[in-house]
Structure 1
Amino acid sequence: ETKAFQVDGQFDSAQYKSLLARAGLSPASYEQQLRYDLLNRELTSAIESSTIVSVSEAEHLIQLEQQKRDAAIGKISYQTFLDDNAVSDSEMKTYYENNMARFMLPAQVDIEYISLSVSSIAEKLTPTEEVLRAFYEDNLGQFMRPEQRKVSHILIESDKEAAIKILTAVKHRLDQGEQFATIAEELSQDTGSAGQGGDLGYIQKGVMEDDNFDKALFSLMEVGQVSEIVETSYGYHLLKLTDIQAVEQKSLLSVKEEVSRRYQQQEAEKIFFEQAEVLAELSYEYPDTLTVAADALDIPIQSTGFFSKSQTEIAGIAANKKVNAAAFSDEVLNERLNSAVIELSDQAVVVIRHKAYQPAKQSMLAEVEQEIRSELSLQYAQQRVKEAGETILQKIQQGGDPASLLSQYEWHTQQTLSRREQPFSYEILEQLYRMQKPLQSPNYHGFIDDEGNYIILVLYSVITPEKQKLTEADRAELLPYLEQNQGRSELAAFINSLKESADIAIIQP
């Protein structure tokens, strides 16, 4: 059923083998991988779909979700302790000498190259009015506005049984004379269109990216007609056809820019494939120069500037993994030959050759002095903020006043906080909600957050609301969501158990 393997809607063995060969796969290896993927999908689906969350569990989870905590929060920023001047020259020198391998500059190359792309060729094409008119008339089908249908819908996102029950009742109400738009405003779960009576505007085939939706909409014969219940990837619908705009031929004047762009693209693709062959032939026949190919194709020779094999921030073609690998290959780096044609995309290629080389070398202390100073300053700041935070936390636990002890830092006084309270980070609130409920006196907790700051939490009380009974609508909406999340958790636990029980050996090269 894979469309890429089909010709005229039918599976084609030659197409199948050709596409696999381009991807470096044999039919046997591809089919084995496909079997593995299907088995893996079946196992995943079996675990995720077998989870059941009871109504009582759901009510308890909602109760926990709505729980609030009465707390105060202090923050000691590591930046308070940053001080480059605190790092002595001797400390910096010692760090440099102990980490010299880290301050090695890797080998670098500078390459020259000629590139060829459809876009660069298209930019040079300037078609005349006569050429554009001829192209337009030869391709009238490309410049037609397809049929568009204006549609309103009522969407129900519940499970199939509940959705069909609701939409069947809607059909009955429509038969009794109620307005489609009124019911859509009342029941449709598409929040984007419900307020407009379910109006989705004008739609052409393919826009909704759902075959069932298109089939149902474009099978309606008359304006005002309502479809039967339609199941799509979005949920379950009733569709009402409210207008039809027929196919319309666009004039050359109205689509002149599009005609020009399509002509340039089509012609540029033809020229590109012709020139790519010339580039491959000449760069191979004259392996010690790019000049011959550049002159024949009227393409400038460019250079990248120096870059290393492991460098992450590189501009231009050197950022391409294939180009980077070729630049450091034995053929280009040592034998000084032109590379083979490198495909950057299906519409761009390049040939490179060596220009200059810089061997790896040790950075001098003076060159990395500021980097070392900043790093040591950060290490000292992280150490000092931890010491300061732990000292203040200990004093608070011994009866000290948190507001006074944290007066020179950031202090948020006692307040009631939900699980998603702004402006506190998810990390802080997660730590707060892990703390045990205090009995007679507040509970205290300190930790280093992801940014390196020391956070002090003071929990005074836990506020838990009364458990609320779920309505039928809440159950239909909430239980599938909770079961899906629980299923994912159980799948993750299953995978972790397999990892723990597996006998894994790591062989170092």
Structure 2
Amino acid sequence: MLQKLREKTTGWLAVVIVAILVVPFAFFGVNNYFSTAVSNYVAKVGEVEISADDFRVRFDQYREQQRRQLGERFDPQAVDNPIARRELLERMIDEELLAQTSERLGLTVTPAQLRDAIAEVPAFQVEGRFDPTQYQLLLTAQAMTPRQYESQIRRDLDVRTLPIQLIDSAFLTDAELDDFVRLADQTRDIEYLAIMPPTEPEAALEEDAALAWYDENRERYRSEETVAIEYVELSSADIEVASNVDEQTLRERYDEQRDRFVEPEQRLISHILIKLAADADAVVVAEAETRARGLIERISAGEDFATVAGEASDDLGSRASGGELGWLEAGLLDAAVDAAVFAAEPGLLPEPVRSAEGWHVLKVAEIRPGNQVPFEDVRAELERAYLDGERERAFSETSGRLIDATYRDPTALATVAESMGLRVQTSAHFSRQGGEGITGNPEVIAAAFSRQVIEEGLSSDSIELGPNHIVILRVVEHVPPEIQAFEAVRERVEAEALADRRAKAARARADALFERLKAGATLSELAAEAGTQPEQVLALRRFAGSPDRAIVDTAFSLPVPSEGGLSHGLAESSPERFTLITLATVTDGDPSKLDSANREAIRRQLSEIQADLELRAFVRALRDQIPVVVVEDAL
């Protein structure tokens, strides 16, 4: 199954499987979907809650991923906004729906599949092979235990399993493929006549006409609402703490946390798998066990384990390396296999072991005992953790005092900050689209334009900008939106009024010529008035790059003409550019001209598209079956 996961989650279809669907299905037709009740979760899927903490962690991961991918092009407003938050939540809901359904159907990931998935992560490999030490180091650097990481990967695989099964079941009939080819390769013979915009000098816009346009479109000329704020920003990174840490303190912490600084025992393990189907009967199971015992006898008699594994193992992932699984620590294998190999002495295990995948012939080649990491090796880490803890403690104390003080006196942010020795900063005016620096943060923008901050003049609640990083703000000046005076926008009014006049004139002229075309006039007869000559395109293809896209789209939207007749169309490329079209002939594509390779390539592509549609429909159906509640206020 892992091979299928790899094959099916590469390329464009991976987006469909992993991010199941940015399109938020639940916006439509789901009873009791929205909720504003006070709760500790952002959504509830069936009986499972998606907590606010889980959502925040996932969103932080998403934001950091976007920051790394986009680099200098990263735009916080494009990433951190209500739409992006909702899309991510919808994705998490879909994942939970699929996970629950997979569990109900018994589509669970085996320990061996989990092990293989982890072993194939390039970051955990040294010289192309899984390295337990590298694995442990990287997880430690991320403040994550192997158990936490394995749980995360298992969850990811559980979510993907069901979509893979659905995708594998999608198929396309020959008749459907032939119909697609007839349409996709269809060609059309057309003639078209571009209608040139008027060339005569444009009359100046009269004052009355400009004023009339301004009065009819006053809302176009409303200024943006803006605010200027004062704010206090507090971050643990900016808090100074004593840099000299007492040696005794660090040694005491080391003694308290000795269990953290242990390199676990590792064993170099090889296996030969005799694979069994999940529904194998007793006879098949017994035959596989007999086969496994026969392999143990061959190896015990002197045959090389690696050679026998290369011939007999059903584990494609390890067979090429003589069955070697690498250095592993306890907990990575199937429970029965794990218990057997970590209780054994080095050498070939005398009995085969049964797992969910089948029978295993096992060998422990070597054992690395667990070791206590000496204090000197982790001193820098302990010191860094101690200083970080001191900063967090100081941040927690200072932020708590600041929040309490602004709560007691919500109209005097500057006075509160001054009494605590904190710096008050001010911003330039910015609109609801945001400004520079901190005023580009969506949560800061939302707070600055909230009713209590603008109308009541109160300080905002504490806004979390990141871990141990907050800001509290207060609006010092508010400029409400207002319709700008005519003189202030005169140039814009005149330009837009003239553009509207030109567009209406062009449309009226095009409509009149189109009516004459439908009444029987030819394009050649209309050429003089259009200001151009007709052009003919034979065998125009649906995805042609020229002529203009609007012409191609209009040509392929026209009905097939009757024998000897024409179909007529009017394409609009812009408000002032129109084209008359006549369609003479439609020729369907010929499926018989496709060779087998191209035919199968098209079949695969269409099957993927069909699988995508079926997967979307499946998730929609799950939303109808399993109650979903979203707590709007928690977002």
Match of 1:398 among 511, 518, 522: 522
SS of match in other structure, 2:588: strand
* Residue 447, structure 1, aligned to residue 571, structure 2: yes
C-alpha separation between the residues in 1 aligned to 2:340 and 2:199? 70
Secondary structure in 1 matching 2:524: coil
Q: Is the 8 A contact 2:170 2:611 kept in 1?
A: no
Question: Paired residue for 1:88?
Answer: 205
Query: In 2, distance between residues paired with 1:298 and 1:414?
Result: 79
Other-structure match for 2:472 = 351
Q: What is the alpha-carbon distance in structure 2 between the residues aligned to residue 143 and residue 425 of structure 1?
A: 68
* Contact 1:75–1:454 (8 Å) recurs in 2: no
Q: Is the 8 A contact 1:118 1:268 kept in 2?
A: yes
Task: For 2:539 and 2:175, locate their aligned partners in 1 and report how far apart those are by CA, in whole Å.
Answer: 24
| Structure 1 Cα separation of the partners of residues 200 and 380 of structure 2 | 60
1:92-491 equivalent positions in 2, closer than 5 A: 92-105=210-223, 108-121=226-239, 127=243, 134=250, 265-307=388-430, 311-318=432-439, 323-324=444-445, 326-327=447-448, 331-344=452-465, 347-384=468-505, 386=507, 391=513, 394=517, 398-400=522-524, 413-415=537-539, 417=541, 419=543, 421-422=544-545, 431-437=554-560, 439-440=563-564, 443-448=567-572, 454=578, 456=581, 458=583, 461-466=587-592, 481=608, 484=611, 487=614
In the alignment, is the contact (CA less than 8 A) between 2:503 and 2:576 conserved in 1? yes
After superposition, give the CA deviation of every residue in 1:104-153 in whole Å (9 maximum; x if it has no partner).
Answer: 336543221112234544xx66946988x9599687988999989999xx
**Structural mapping, 1:63-78, within 5 Å:** 63-67=178-182, 68-71=185-188
Question: 2:418 is aligned with what amino acid?
Answer: D
Distance 1:31 1:463, change over 3 A: closer
Aligned length: 423
SS in 2 for 1:312: coil
SS in 1 for 2:412: coil
Q: Distance in 2 between matches of 1:463 and 1:294?
A: 75
Distance 1:66 1:355, change over 3 A: same
Distance 2:456 2:196 in 1: 52
**2:158 aligns to what?**
none
Contact 1:58/1:482 (8 A) holds in 2:
no
Distance, in Å, in 1 between the alignment partners of 2:461 and 2:451 is 13
Q: Which amino acid aligns with 1:445?
A: G
What is the one-letter code of the residue matched to 1:92? A
- Report the TM-score, using the length of structure 2 for normalisation: 0.45
Residue 30 of structure 1 deviates from its aligned partner by 5.4
2: CA distance, partners of 1:476 / 1:288: 67
1:24 aligns with 2:24: no
**Larger relative contact order, structure 1 or 2 (CA cutoff 8 Å, min sep 6):** 1
- 1:37-81 CA-to-partner distances (Å, cap 9, x unmatched) read 99x979x99xx9999x997x7223322333313347899999978
Q: Report the CA distance between 1:332 and its aligned residue.
A: 4.0
Superposition deviation, residue 363 in structure 1:
1.0
* Alignment partners' CA distance in 2, 1:148 and 1:410: 80
Alpha-carbon shift at residue 277 of structure 1 (Å): 0.5
- Give the whole-Å Cα distance in 1 for the aligned partners of 2:339 and 2:599: 35
Tell me the distance in 2 between the aligned counterparts of 1:179 and 1:86.
90
Q: Deviations over 1:275-302 (max 9, x none)?
A: 1101112223444423343235543211
Give the distance between the partners of 1:213 and 1:418, measured in 2 at CA.
Answer: 54
Deviates more, 1:81-90 or 1:432-441: 81-90
Mapped contact 1:82–1:380 kept (Cα < 8 A): no
The one-letter amino acid of 1:69's match is Q
| Aligned partner of residue 422 in structure 2, secondary structure | coil
Give the secondary-structure state (helix, strand or coil) at the position aligned to 1:299: coil
CA contact (8 A) 1:72 1:415 kept: yes
| CA 398–99 in structure 1, closer or farther in 2 if over 3 Å, else same | same
Pick closer, same or farther for the CA change 1:137–1:490 going to 2, 3 Å. Answer: closer
Q: Distance in 2 between matches of 1:276 and 1:481?
A: 53
Counterpart CA distance in 1 for 2:340 and 2:462 is 53
What is the rounded CA distance, in whole Å, between the counterparts of 2:453 and 2:217 in structure 1?
A: 33
**1:190-247 superposed Cα distances (whole Å, 9 cap, x missing partner):** xxxxxx99xxx99999xxxxx999999999979xxxx99999xxxxxxxxxxx99989
1:116 partner SS: strand
What is the rounded CA distance, in whole Å, between the counterparts of 1:249 and 1:472 in structure 2? 62
Distance in 2 between residues matched to 1:31 and 1:376, nearest whole Å: 53
SS where residue 105 of structure 1 aligns? coil
CA distance in 2, matches of 1:428, 1:203: 64
| Structure 2 CA distance for partners of 1:142 and 1:334, relative to 1, 3 Å | same
Does structure 2 retain, via aligned residues, the 8 Å contact 1:111–1:327?
A: yes
Is the contact made by 2:221 and 2:484 (CA closer than 8 Å) also made in structure 1?
yes
Residue of structure 2 in register with 1:165 after alignment: none
Seen in structure 2, the aligned counterparts of structure 1 residues 462 and 126 have a Cα distance that, compared at 3 Å, is farther
CA contact 2:196–2:531 (8 Å) conserved in 1:
no
Residues 264-322 of structure 1 show CA distances to partners (whole Å, capped at 9, x for unaligned) of 654443332221101112223444423343235543211233345xx334444445565
State the TM-score, normalizing by the size of structure 1. Answer: 0.53
Note the residue ranges of structure 1 that are not aligned, 5 or more in a row: 1-20, 152-159, 162-167, 169-173, 189-195, 206-210, 232-242, 495-509
Which shows bigger deviation, 141-150 or 479-488? 141-150
Q: Give the whole-Å Cα distance in 2 for the aligned partners of 1:31 and 1:351.
A: 34
- For 1:65, the aligned partner's letter is F
- The Cα of 1:88 is off from its aligned counterpart by 1.4
Q: Distance in 2 between matches of 1:22 and 1:100?
A: 37
Rate the CA distance shift 1:283–1:357 in 2: closer, same or farther, 3 A.
Answer: same
Amino acid of the residue matched to residue 175 of structure 2? H
Partner-residue secondary structure (3-state), 1:463: coil
Distance 1:99 1:22, change over 3 A: closer
Match of 1:61 in 2: 176
Contact 1:87/1:376 (CA < 8 Å) preserved in 2?
no
Classify the secondary structure of the residue corresponding to 2:591: coil
Listed as ranges, the gaps of 5+ residues in structure 2 are: 1-34, 50-92, 103-162, 271-277, 280-287, 289-306, 347-352, 358-364, 622-635
Q: Is the 1:110–1:307 Cα contact (8 Å) retained in structure 2?
A: yes
